[in-house]
Structure 1
């Protein structure tokens, strides 16, 4: 029967006794490691829930040196891509028996440094870091923290990246195969290598087989800058590669306000496959960044460093492949 809340806190020994298993099996089950059958693990966890057993984090830290918690530092939760990524990372961490703290740096490098200092101070087991730019703002505070960087190139840190040159070529290939020859590119901020690479990949193929109508730059926002609006309306492109979905959706909305039909008058292809891409009217054709694969790869790489005898090991980079998601914003051009 459930324990009385007034009773003392249930211990691991209490759990082992109530579940009818050894102390080792009880420990393996609640820590998500060791050799214990799945049915036995499920039984132990159910008993733990019933008797109100919760791990003593302080005791675990003293015994193992680990808290069972990770940190996630992201640059901008107003960008719909990042909440989706965060949820995928939470799921992957949870599946491995880890909790995760989230800090949003709001695109501010000073806040980013403060966040990284906080991560070091609270003593999490490891950090997944999506930097604002290709820049190390840690100033050495992460010297003893296992870290995996996402999507950026920061010297000295392991990374999970994308083959962005190929991804950009994938976008251009789809537009060219649809018969478009005058194609424009709306880039995101050019101070990020991953953005430059996807646009360079697209531009190289466009120039090899067609004509680059324009290449302009916009913030990661649905609000378009005046030069982007001018290119959109007067650049003579029949199709546009917008190198982030939020920008593509901004282009779609502006085209609509100007009486342009998408894809009848103008084709638009995005990048990221955020949830709004599918919900948009018309649904956005885009390049998918597979967030579940990115998240699983990041957590696996990070925990390999956490669980290694020497977690601050030589940096390594893992590349994840992208996919084309065909919806309704790219039409054929005669």
Structure 2
């Protein structure tokens, strides 16, 4: 009776370690294209690949459909977070030898039926959605016969996998620091964003509750959007109405773009940062390093979200389990202190 080929045989034939062969077949670690292809070719030639496929235990993520809403496409320096996410995903796909099929919606929302049709026509093995977590889209894609991951979004219905920065704890980390410095009247500059932005408000509130301090009324300032001009306009309008800015000694901005506009408005009124008021951002975009003063912020691992999404897709392919529960993966943030924060006067 002929001996069955095992993983050791594949590793020996491909001239790699046993663990490397396992990672290449299971998609459990990033490998170079050359190493992954060498292992797969050995597995195919020895008959191991076909046997594993029959048992539905091999990760076969070769083609990925990437769907992006029009306003998230990298068109300017206003959406550097999206650009960083996409660039990280692109690099990881190149590293793993995954072909990416991009789809950019014609409007601000993605059509789930259209995404499914393109995925089928391109024979995609998985779908990644960036910055769109509308319930109708999620319900449409949840019934697709392939793994779906939303990057930088949430799914309260828990139908698909999601990857996002830890927005809530990240915001709390920043407010904890401001409270430790002695700030109590902290203004939160935000906008009507998606749930990811709402989580930053949740973290803002959590920090006060954990410190057994009240969340003061009137300390939420809503801008019309997330761009620097929106932050500038909101602060200017507040200063026109109330030069004391509701007694705030610090401003927590829900995004660095808002913070940059905030800094400009304050500078135009000769309000010194951080001497007169502290400003904290969120995202850690490059422009914040070169603002005056350099912006303190919460840094999100935007460049790591893509790799995390690919791992979730590969895990789902390996599991081959229609009853596998949706996974929610949150990547940690950290506080970056530069020159825009100081204790209150």
TM-score band, normalised by shorter chain: 0.7 to 0.9
Is the contact between residue 120 and residue 145 of structure 1 (CA under 8 Å) also seen in structure 2? no
Q: Distance in 2 between matches of 1:101 and 1:282?
A: 41
Higher relative contact order (CA 8 A, sep 6+): 2
* CA spacing shift, 1:183–1:161, aligned 2, 3 Å: same
* CA spacing shift, 1:67–1:183, aligned 2, 3 Å: closer
| Residue pairs, 1:224-243, within 5 angstroms | 224=230, 226-231=233-238, 234=242, 235-236=245-246, 237-243=248-254
The answer for the alignment partner of 1:268 in structure 2 is 279
Aligned residues: 293
1:279, distance to aligned residue in structure 2 (A): 2.9
Q: Distance in 2 between matches of 1:317 and 1:86?
A: 19
Residue 145 of structure 1 pairs with residue 151 of structure 2: no
* CA spacing shift, 1:248–1:148, aligned 2, 3 Å: same
Q: Distance in 2 between matches of 1:83 and 1:112?
A: 22
The answer for the alignment partner of 2:195 in structure 1 is 193
Q: Distance in 2 between matches of 1:231 and 1:178?
A: 25
Pick the aligned partner of 1:251 from 235, 256, 262. Answer: 262
The answer for the alignment partner of 2:222 in structure 1 is 217
Pick the aligned partner of 1:169 from 172, 180, 198. Answer: 172
Is the contact between residue 138 and residue 160 of structure 2 (CA under 8 Å) also seen in structure 1? no
Is the contact between residue 252 and residue 281 of structure 2 (CA under 8 Å) also seen in structure 1? yes
The answer for the alignment partner of 2:24 in structure 1 is 33
Q: Distance in 2 between matches of 1:232 and 1:112?
A: 44
TM-score, normalised relative to structure 1: 0.73
Structure 2 residue ranges without an equivalent (≥5)? 1-12, 39-57
| Residue pairs, 1:1-334, within 5 angstroms | 25=14, 33=24, 68-75=62-69, 76-77=72-73, 78=75, 79-105=79-105, 108-109=108-109, 114-115=114-115, 117-137=117-137, 140=140, 143-154=144-155, 155=157, 156-190=159-193, 192-206=194-208, 208-209=212-213, 212=216, 214-218=219-223, 219-224=225-230, 226-231=233-238, 234=242, 235-236=245-246, 237-310=248-321, 313-334=324-345
Tell me how large the CA RMSD over aligned residues is: 3.8
* CA spacing shift, 1:127–1:200, aligned 2, 3 Å: same
Greater fraction helix: 2
Is the contact between residue 62 and residue 125 of structure 2 (CA under 8 Å) also seen in structure 1? yes
Structure 1 residue ranges without an equivalent (≥5)? 1-23, 46-63
* CA spacing shift, 1:108–1:193, aligned 2, 3 Å: same
* CA spacing shift, 1:34–1:119, aligned 2, 3 Å: closer
1:25, distance to aligned residue in structure 2 (A): 4.5
Q: Distance in 1 between matches of 2:292 and 2:68?
A: 29
1:308, distance to aligned residue in structure 2 (A): 4.0
Structure 1, residues 240-269: CA drift from partner, whole Å, max 9, x if none?
Answer: 000111111111122222222222222111
Is the contact between residue 110 and residue 132 of structure 2 (CA under 8 Å) also seen in structure 1? no
* CA spacing shift, 1:247–1:104, aligned 2, 3 Å: farther
1:117, distance to aligned residue in structure 2 (A): 4.3
